[in-house]
Amino acid sequence: MKAILLGAGRGERLKPITDTIPKMLLPVVDRQLIDINMRRLFKVGVSSIGINLFHHHDLLLKHLTSRGRNIYPVVEKVLNGTGGALVNFKDFVDGDFIIHSGDVLSDIKLRDIVDFHRTHKPVATIVMIRHNGTKFRIGKDNRIDKVYAHDATPYTYAGIGVFSERVFSFFPQQDVFSIVDVFRNIIKEGESLMGLPAVIQWYNINSHYNYWKIHHDVLRGQTALEGLAHDSPVYIARSSDVRTDALKGFVSIGEDCRVARGVYLENTIVLPGTELTEGKYCNALIHGASRIMVT
């Protein structure tokens, strides 16, 4: 089985951080977002991963050159939406395939979703969670029978699913479209779109607060995402020079940082390459000259 990791977005809500770092290269403590998701996909038996790129694609391509040969990157010339992006992979997939949003981290058991899909053989099986977003009604036998644009039901798409190759026949005849447009077409044609409600730990790294929150939960031991366990609330990358000992709550200091004596950090993330000579920071993201307060 192959997988497609969607990672072309500009990360508008994470600016100014994403002005220089593409969202999928953001570190979550000591591992980059793209590496966390690729490791999970390969571990579940995926043979090859297709990845769509756009924003700062040069940095992502450079990163991927050291990550093995079973990766198929596609650079989009324009953003075609979460559905239109899949057109580039029509010749890449060769059967059922996993779809995974590049900015989502969770503890979902991917093997269970694959097994369910192979047993029931719908056009697509998608993971559903109770969260804000486009709403889906799940009817009899896990079939999704309606898509809403309001809060008529509690369930929304988690950005994770297993798709049949048949899904391409339900694409709109246009260049730019959402994956939700594809879901609507499947339902309209009377085909089977199945939803699996899940109670999981789920993070969408699409805002300053959400990026801060996953560090908070990981470093304080409040989440059990695979590969992200730490036995201390303070993480300092080995390549960084940190002279202060005024580190309170949780603190994550990335690669190649310089933090002077007297700097105070509490519940704060210092992104790679940052130099701090003075200041007191609490509930913050610090990236170069940017100081972002999150709560």
What DSSP string describes 30-72? TEEHHHHHHHHHHHTT-SEEEEEE-TTHHHHHHHHTTS-SSEE
Which residue type occupies 90?
K
- Under a CB-based contact definition with an 8 Å cutoff, are residues 139 and 112 in contact? no
Count structural domains, the chain.
Answer: 2
* CATH number of residue 35's parent domain: 3.90.550.10
Mean pLDDT of 47-75: 92
Query: Which one-letter DSSP state was computed for residue 21?
Result: S
Contacts of residue 263, Cβ cutoff 8 Å, sequence gap at least 6: 244, 246, 276, 277, 278, 279, 280, 281
List the structure tokens of 7.
């990672």
Contacts of residue 169, Cβ cutoff 8 Å, sequence gap at least 6: none
End-to-end Cα, the chain, rounded Å = 42
Instruction: For residues 92 and 148, state if they share a domain.
Output: yes
In a domain, residue 208? The reply is: no
In a domain, residue 220? The reply is: no
Categorize the per-residue pLDDT at 150 as very low, low, confident or very high, splitting at 50, 70 and 90. low
Calculate the average pLDDT of the chain. Answer: 93
Residue 100 to residue 67: CA distance in whole angstroms: 18
Which residue type occupies 128?
M
Say if residue 151's pLDDT is above 70.
no
Domain that includes residue 56, residue range: 2-203
Categorize the per-residue pLDDT at 55 as very low, low, confident or very high, splitting at 50, 70 and 90. very high
Say if residue 175's pLDDT is above 90.
no
List the structure tokens of 272.
């790679």
Condensed to tens digits (0 to 9), the pLDDT of residues 24-49 reads: 999 999 999 999 999 999 999 999 99
Q: Is this structure's pTM higher than 0.75?
A: yes
Instruction: For residues 195 and 267, state if they share a domain.
Output: no
- Under a CB-based contact definition with an 8 Å cutoff, are residues 255 and 237 in contact? yes
In a domain, residue 101? The reply is: yes
